[in-house]
Amino acid sequence: MALDSKTDLNSLGFAKSPQDTRVVVAMSGGVDSSVVAAELASQGYDVVGITLQLYDHGAALAKKGACCAGRDIHDARRVAEEMDFPHYVLDYENIFKDAVMDEFAESYLGGATPVPCIRCNERVKFKDLLETAKDLDADCMATGHYIQRKAGPHKAELHAAADRARDQSYFLFSTTQEQLDFLRFPLGHLESKDETRALAAKHGLPVADKPDSQDICFVPDGNYAKVIEKLRPGSAEPGEIVHADGRVLGRHEGVIHYTIGQRRGLGIGGLSEPLYVVKLDVETKRVIVGPKALLSTRTIPVREINWLGDAPLTPGQEINLAVKVRSTRPPREAILKPLDNGLAEVELLEAEEGVSPGQACVFYDPESTRVLGGGWIWRGA
């Protein structure tokens, strides 16, 4: 593949030929990362595929679409064989349990609603796997995430994917600048998943029609409470379901079965008004419910701020931006007020419902698609 005559850079941004550019591709066994590996291999890059075994995949073999399960490792290997590049499987089971699964359980037990996929990217894929890529003398690491990395006037920038329906920027807000300099996201510019599957078919990949994964990879049947009870036996202690006005409305079998904003499955039928979970009181083992209006908030405390803007954050500033408090919600106008020690306060211009500790609050440039970082919502707002 010839270099660009204007910039002398290859498609991954390096001033050398693809043949002299080594790229480690994080391969989950799904169609997205498989297409990334196949495309780069077909362009002549020195591709090395790596798949992480993150948990005991034997228990998940019956679950279609669960990432990093035994079938997915097999699928990734088949793609590597088809495209003729080396492929390795690394056992990260202990690292994954310590860095992701244990915190997932502790967060639920603490009344929070965690997002383990973000922690996995932050603490495993973009940390340990990225270091492995550097150990292999790779020039960069590529993934199948739907997000864009663009060359800005000051440094590499993180941007939302062209296909907003598949944009994964919410799950990648904690990517540091150092990681971003090393990472590449070749699918971020595609307009639809159909384009990805067409590329898979073009390369004759065995995963071209493979379904997308929907659940958290270590929760094969979507039953979070069952996983938590397995990780923390005896953690599901019963308690009272209490109205915000103090009335005891019923009993529950464990706070871990509930999340902020939940309406269905409360087990307190026969009431005249629809009720929602508005608070989880772990100490008293109480699930507090109330009308929808009690879910609204405009002030969100956040911590562990990861900032990707050009100028550093300074306490006392007020920065106009847009934020997402759930992956499925559009960005909302807000003001970011940095504090000391990696803390900040986000003031929403319009109230949001169901803001929950343990979720991420992700920052966006309101005038573009740029991701400016984010933080973790850390106490009830």
What is the DSSP track for 78-123?
HHHHHHT--EEEEE-HHHHIIIIIHHHHHHHHTT----HHHHHIII
Which bin fits 280, alpha (ψ -120 to 50), beta or left (φ > 0)?
beta
**pLDDT number for residue 36:** 98
Residues of the chain within CATH 2.40.30.10 domain(s) are 296-377
Edge-to-edge strand ranges of the sheet holding 22-26:
87-91, 46-53, 22-26, 140-142, 183-184
Burial class (CB in 10 A: 0-12, 13-18, 19+), 272: exposed
pLDDT score of 60: 40
Q: Where are the alpha helices (DSSP H) in the chain?
A: 31-42, 70-83, 93-96, 102-109, 116-120, 130-135, 177-182, 193-202, 224-231
What is 296-377's CATH superfamily? Translation factors (2.40.30.10)
Which residues of the chain are under the pLDDT cut of 70? 1-7, 56-69, 214-215, 220, 270, 380-381
DSSP structure string for 282-330: TTTTEEEEE-GGGGEEEEEEEEEEEE-SSSPP-TT--EEEEEESSTTSP
Q: Where does the chain hold its CATH 2.30.30.280 domain(s)?
A: 236-290
Phi, psi angles (nearest 5°) of residue 225: -60, -40
Instruction: Identify the active-site residue in 67, 68, 120, 361.
Output: 120
Supply the CATH classification number for the domain 18-144+186-202.
Answer: 3.40.50.620
Backbone angles phi, psi at 74, to 5 degrees: -60, -45
Q: Is 67 a catalytic residue?
A: no
Which CATH number fits the domain 236-290, given the four candidates 2.30.30.280, 3.40.50.720, 3.30.70.360, 3.30.750.24?
Answer: 2.30.30.280
**Per the residue annotation, which of 67, 140, 217, 361 is the catalytic one?**
217
User: What pLDDT does 69 receive?
Assistant: 54
Question: Strands 22-26 and 140-142: what pairing?
Answer: parallel
Distances (CA, A) of 110 to 107, 113, 114: 5, 9, 10
Q: Residues 296, 262: contact at Cβ < 8 Å?
A: no
Supply the pLDDT for residue 214. 67
pLDDT in the model for residue 56: 63
- Listed in order, the ranges of the chain carrying CATH 3.40.50.620 are 18-144+186-202
Q: Which has the closest alpha carbon to 86: 52, 51, 48?
A: 48
Chain centroid, CA 303 distance in Å: 17
| Residue 68 a catalytic site member | no
Identify the H or E element spanning 374: strand 370-377
Q: What pLDDT sits at residue 269?
A: 75
Using an 8 Å Cβ cutoff, are 187 and 212 in contact? Answer: no
Residue whose pair of structure tokens reads 């005896």 in the numeric block: 234
- Which residues have CB under 8 Å from 215's CB, separation 6+? 63, 65, 66, 221, 222
For residues 76, 186, 120, 345, the Cα torsion angle rounded to the nearest 10 degrees is: -170
The Cα 279–Cα 112 span in angstroms is: 10
21: Cβ contacts below 8 Å, ≥ 6 apart? 10, 12, 14, 45, 46, 139, 140
